[in-house]
Amino acid sequence: MVVVKEVDSNNVKDKMLNFTYESDGYYDLLSSEDGLTFSFQYQNHPNKIVKSSKDALVPSYIEEPLVFIAYKDDKEVGYLTLGIERWNNRLRIWNILVLNEYQNQGIGTILMKKAKEVMKLTSSRQIVLETQSCNNRAINFYIKNGFRFIGFDTACYSNFDLMRKEIRMEFAYDNIDEELKVFEEKILNEIKSKPLMKEIDILKFIYQSEFGPGHLISDVKNAYEYLLLEIEKMSKTSNENLIDNLTNNVIRINLIPYLNKGYDKKTLITMLAISASLIKGSPYLYKLKIKRFLSLIEKYQLNYDCKLILELLNYQQKNNYQPFSHSDEYKKGYELHYRVLKKSVFKMFNLTLDDLKSVFKYNVKEMYLFENDELDFAKYQVKLDNNQNILLYISDISNYNKLKDYLKNAKIEVLSNEDLVIGFRNEE
């Protein structure tokens, strides 16, 4: 039985690892005449490639190392060194090694599963790693474990890497397949509950699940005025739930039940603005989701026009991925009024909503913190920490102590005394 244990990196900082691999071929880099288009082609090597190197289990340049050792019959048989890259929210595999006599026993896969567990625990958006274009065994292992090729460096190890057929290749794991399976379930449920949905409504749903509310919040003041106008026209009762899940991270807040519960309109705009700053979205993933939906049309014989969906997508691509409005049939049939938010943002405000109702004020595109107009304006910046806790970094405070006392009385945690940092824990 193989057991993987985390160890204190300080206790193994002097431990060295010996890396050795053999290969019958390599991936050759081919480029166009202008040097701007590239492809890799596998080539057999006339002689077997044998490479060996020595490296520290915990290289000194890793800022936040996490070290795991695999044991079999109380013997060390494998090693995994991870590093958290906070600046871009990625987890890097610096070392993954199984001793030669224990290879081909599934230990490497066990270590890779551990890395994926850490990815979830740290809420990292990707796992990244590097290997060499001549290490085809490692490349095949990474692809088998769900990694995809994301880039290369032709002069990482020396100025002659191209000649040596030893180019640095970067691979990443980002759990896209799992996310897309969740998306398939969500969109099928949406179609079932709202059979009047047209092709344009499908794209609206997919757009919101990927890009969130960014298109609505370029100007906070206008977004608030638009919300007030919408509230005036809508009815006071609804059978809708307060929250509809679009994805695991993005939700739809239905306005009627939101207001009927006594929640604040300005707080909603604050949540909308914060969500817009945190949800960036990816055109690549957006197109992947549309591709998945097209496959669902074929699989379940859904009554949607694939050609029309592709035409709508092509129009969006030419217009910087601007969202569509709902169809008239959808608007008349369901009369929905909602806003799209990041789930952790809503949870943060839901936990402290009563305390924060009177805390936020708006001034055109900037938002300011104040209490009962007794404090001068203070700018804030929103960030997520490694555990998806939401932090408000507040600066330019003229009445610092009064604000701090107010937050204390409101039972809102103050995390730092330099630039005032207020933390709201994500209770996932």
Q: Which two tokens stand for residue 63?
A: 């800022």
Q: Options 3.40.630.30, 3.40.50.2300, 2.40.40.20, 3.20.20.10; which CATH number does 2-174 get?
A: 3.40.630.30
Which of the listed ranges 71-75, 219-223, 274-278 does the model predict with the highest average pLDDT?
Answer: 71-75
What's the mean pLDDT in 209-235? 82
Model pLDDT, residue 274: 77
Model pLDDT, residue 122: 81
**pLDDT greater than 70 at residue 357:** no
Q: Which range among 16-25, 108-117, 392-401 shows the weakest confidence by mean pLDDT?
A: 392-401
How many other C-beta atoms are found inside a 10 Å radius of the C-beta of residue 181? 11
Instruction: Read off the pLDDT band of 372 (50, 70, 90).
Output: very low
- Residue 20: exposure state from Cβ atoms within 10 A (0-12, 13-18, ≥19): exposed
422 neighbors 382 (Cβ within 8 angstroms) = no
SS3 category, 301: coil
Model pLDDT, residue 401: 59
**pLDDT greater than 70 at residue 87:** yes
**pLDDT greater than 80 at residue 345:** no
Q: Looking at 174-305, list the stretches that DSSP marks H as alpha helix, in order from N- to C-terminal side.
A: 176-193, 199-211, 220-233, 255-260, 265-278, 283-300
**Comparing 375 with 280, which gets the higher pLDDT?**
280
Model pLDDT, residue 402: 55
Instruction: Measure the CA–CA gap between 384 and 278, rounded to whole angstroms.
Output: 8
Model pLDDT, residue 400: 53
Listed in sequence order, the residues at least 6 apart from 379 whose beta carbon sits closer than 8 Å to its beta carbon are 366, 368, 394, 395, 396
Instruction: Read off the pLDDT band of 108 (50, 70, 90).
Output: very high
Q: What is the DSSP string of 86-150?
A: TTTTEEEEEEEEE-GGGTTSSHHHHHHHHHHHHHHHTT-SEEEEEEETT-HHHHHHHHHTT-EEE
**pLDDT greater than 80 at residue 289:** yes
Instruction: Read off the pLDDT band of 242 (50, 70, 90).
Output: confident
Which secondary structure element, helix H or strand E, spans residue 414, and what is its range?
A: strand 413-417
Domain boundaries, the chain: 2-174, 179-351, 359-428
Nearest by Cα to 202 from 18, 174, 194: 194
**Comparing 237 with 387, which gets the higher pLDDT?**
237
Listed in sequence order, the residues at least 6 apart from 132 whose beta carbon sits closer than 8 Å to its beta carbon are 51, 138, 157, 166, 167, 168, 169
Q: Are strands 378-384 and 148-153 parallel, antiparallel or unpaired?
A: unpaired
Please give the mean pLDDT across all residues of the chain. 82
Instruction: Measure the CA–CA gap between 28 and 214, rounded to whole angstroms.
Output: 42
What's the mean pLDDT in 378-395? 48
Instruction: Measure the CA–CA gap between 29 and 39, rounded to whole angstroms.
Output: 6
What's the mean pLDDT in 385-392? 49
Q: Which range among 94-108, 138-152, 256-270 shows the weakest confidence by mean pLDDT?
A: 256-270
Model pLDDT, residue 160: 94
Q: What is residue 408's DSSP assignment?
A: H
**pLDDT greater than 90 at residue 176:** no
**pLDDT greater than 70 at residue 387:** no
As beta bridge partners, residue 113 has none
Model pLDDT, residue 285: 87
Q: What is the largest CA-CA distance in the chain?
A: 79
Q: Which range among 68-72, 94-98, 259-263, 307-311 shows the weakest confidence by mean pLDDT?
A: 259-263
**Comparing 247 with 114, which gets the higher pLDDT?**
114
Model pLDDT, residue 350: 55
How many other C-beta atoms are found inside a 10 Å radius of the C-beta of residue 9? 16
Model pLDDT, residue 179: 79
Model pLDDT, residue 349: 63
Model pLDDT, residue 310: 97
**pLDDT greater than 80 at residue 418:** no
Which secondary structure element, helix H or strand E, spans residue 43, and what is its range?
A: strand 38-56
**pLDDT greater than 70 at residue 386:** no
